[in-house]
Structure 1
Amino acid sequence: MTPVGQLPDLSGLRSLLAEWRGHAGYLVEYVGPRAIPLGNNGDELLGRVFLRVLRDLGITLVRRPSDASVLLVRPGGALLDRYQAPALLAGRLAQLPDLPLIIFPHSSWFERDDPATMFAGRRSRTLWISREERSHRHLRDAWGESLARAGVTLELDHDMVVSGNSYVAQALGAVTGRTGVDDGLLLVARLGVEAGRMNEPIDRGTWYRQLAVRGLRRLPHRTLVSIRQRTTRDRQIAANSRMLTKVSSELATSRMSMSPWCFDISDPSLASFDEFARAISGAAAAVTDRLHVAVPAAILGKRTFLVESGYHKAGGVYEHSLRDMEAITFVRRT
């Protein structure tokens, strides 16, 4: 089996991006309402590793696109046609048509909309790197011709938390001193869109519920966290229990206490990044359908079960980058 030291490393990215060593890059963000970048605590971890990897690759970030020679899109899993990110990215790219673009390792799924529309009007080339074979094959087979006409080259590497695994403990920050702490079994089941099958319609609730959700988001963050933890507790416990049932035969839970973190630590409306980091660092083992809970937990040596959820990204990353890693087991949806 594969120890952490033998996980995929940065050699693939170094090769793909060798021409950009020594260059200045401008980070193009997915920015939602009130200029708040999109993403969860797992994306924050991914972003912290990404910034450290940029230094390794010899690419310097600058504050203004006029000072850059290349545009950068941070790694992640948001480039799906049912999410906001493609439209937000298209809007930003339309303002910057002349600089080359690198999309760092992503998972993607465009079921209806042609992803080439994100690059409409661009006069420079794009390198789009997938983090697993399923996304790479999907883009190539379903949209390859239109993407080629838009000047997009498709390449394949690894999830950046995996390839940048040597920086994970550092990226988790202040909790690195918790080595050896045993807070029991960490259960993290998602409650959002990807909790179900991604080919099902998104249930956004009634108009009244949507209005209430928008109102809650305007509250101070700690107030919102407290309300969300209380109002989602029953659903979270039920989701955690269903997920645990899938691995109970392989995990000796009777001899293990439960972690005190009984909510989705990836969701920034339920937990801060520091809480996310402390929960992973202190766990004895983890069962989760959150990819970026499972990956750092396994890298830190925790016995980890990654349960399939949503679209193909978790299974794709496991098959492409993690299947020989001893600490992690992938549990397929039944």
Structure 2
Amino acid sequence: MKPEPCPSLPGLEELEPYLEPLQGTRAWVVPMTGRSGKLLGNNGDALMHAVFLRILASFSIETVDDQRDAQVVVVPPSGALLESYAFPDLLAERIRGSEGLPLIVFPSSALFPTRDPSFMFEDRTAPTTWMLRELPSMTHLSEQWGTQLSGVGVQLVLLHDVVALGHSFVSEIVGPRVRSPKTLLIAPRADRERTSAIGTSAPRVGASSRMDELVHLARSSGVGRRVIRFVRRRRTAALAERLAGQIDTSAWSVVRRRTRRTVRLDLSSTQFCSFDEYARTLRAAEVVITDRLHVALPAAILGAEVYVAEAGYHKLRGVYENSLRGMTNVTLVG
């Protein structure tokens, strides 16, 4: 049975003005891979992509493998449209030859502090719709690069994160929540996030920086995987402690009473767990404390009590303000 939509979250009706005119068309989906062919992203991105494909199917948009068979080009949702990442250049390369086809960039975050992002859309003759999932990205692009983007036919649109829009698909993909969950999940970002190189991102400090140095030393000295795993566990524990420290005392005492087991794991990172473990842990969570957007979103949709903190640039706080404020089981901390 298909789950009922959550009334406090936006739904697919938000996409109707952009996707209903494309019903019955063939779409070429830009591959989310690096130059080596390896998939970009993490477990949260895998969930987002699965929701995205169900959204296309809901609007009777057929995906094709060959760009030459397409009537529209679609860029999947992601957090990869950042100046510090390689994907903007890859996107510019991959959409060459489709200048005459409409292009839709599904709701993403964006950050281009110094580089004009209009280079991705040069020489296009068909319109481009670039959807943003939070106001800071929209404001940033509009104010800093609006003239240049308009000059190459790009329309900027503020919508919502795809997992929020397609929340009715989440339990179908992740699985239903377990009965009477008792797990406290603390899920800090523990992988090496390259956005830390951006000036507006939070730098790694203290225990996290020292742990990064130990991982590098372990790799360079060839001491083996067991040492690296040990160091990663210690780093995750330190980050989890810092993250949990953002919860006020009264809320923390309630959290401890409601939960019996604590899991400290960077659930979104494929360095630390598989998608099956990601899904299984989300289903069992009663309370979640995280700075991972796609841990917070599905956990909240499944019914967990979620405390969410910003991890770097404006993405997470922006999605909370734009899409999650109405959820009584989600609290922004920090």
The normalised TM-score by structure 1 is 0.87
Shift of 1:228: 5.5
Match of 2:184 in 1: 185
Native 8 Å contact 2:138 2:157 kept in 1: yes
Matched position secondary structure for 2:24: coil
The verdict on how the C-alpha distance between 1:183 and 1:87 changes in structure 2, with shifts beyond 3 A counting, is farther
Alpha-carbon separation, structure 1, partners of 2:159 and 2:240: 32
The 5 A counterparts of 1:175-254 are: 175-176=175-176, 178-191=177-190, 192-193=192-193, 198-199=198-199, 209=216, 229-249=229-249, 250-252=251-253, 253-254=255-256
Alpha-carbon separation, structure 2, partners of 1:245 and 1:195: 23
Match of 2:39 in 1: 37
Matched position secondary structure for 1:72: strand
Which of 304, 307, 331 is residue 306 of structure 2 equivalent to? 304
Match of 1:219 in 2: none
Q: Tell me, which stretches of 5 or more residues in structure 2 are unaligned?
A: none
The verdict on how the C-alpha distance between 1:108 and 1:211 changes in structure 2, with shifts beyond 3 A counting, is farther
Which of 274, 279, 294 is residue 292 of structure 1 equivalent to? 294
Shift of 1:90: 1.3
Native 8 Å contact 1:194 1:309 kept in 2: no
Give the counterpart letter for 1:232 in structure 2: R
Native 8 Å contact 1:27 1:74 kept in 2: yes
Deviates more, 1:19-28 or 1:92-101: 92-101
Matched position secondary structure for 2:307: strand
Q: How many residues are matched?
A: 318
Alpha-carbon separation, structure 2, partners of 1:230 and 1:322: 36
Give the counterpart letter for 2:238 in structure 1: A
Match of 2:282 in 1: 280
Deviates more, 1:249-258 or 1:280-289: 249-258
Q: Tell me, which stretches of 5 or more residues in structure 1 are unaligned?
A: 216-222
Native 8 Å contact 2:106 2:130 kept in 1: yes
Give the counterpart letter for 2:246 in structure 1: K
Give the superposed CA RMSD. 2.8
The verdict on how the C-alpha distance between 1:133 and 1:120 changes in structure 2, with shifts beyond 3 A counting, is same
Shift of 1:120: 2.2
The normalised TM-score by structure 2 is 0.87
Native 8 Å contact 2:167 2:301 kept in 1: yes
Identity %: 37
Native 8 Å contact 1:187 1:262 kept in 2: yes
Give the counterpart letter for 1:251 in structure 2: W
Native 8 Å contact 1:17 1:57 kept in 2: yes
Give the counterpart letter for 2:231 in structure 1: T
Native 8 Å contact 1:47 1:74 kept in 2: yes
The 5 A counterparts of 1:321-332 are: 321-332=323-334
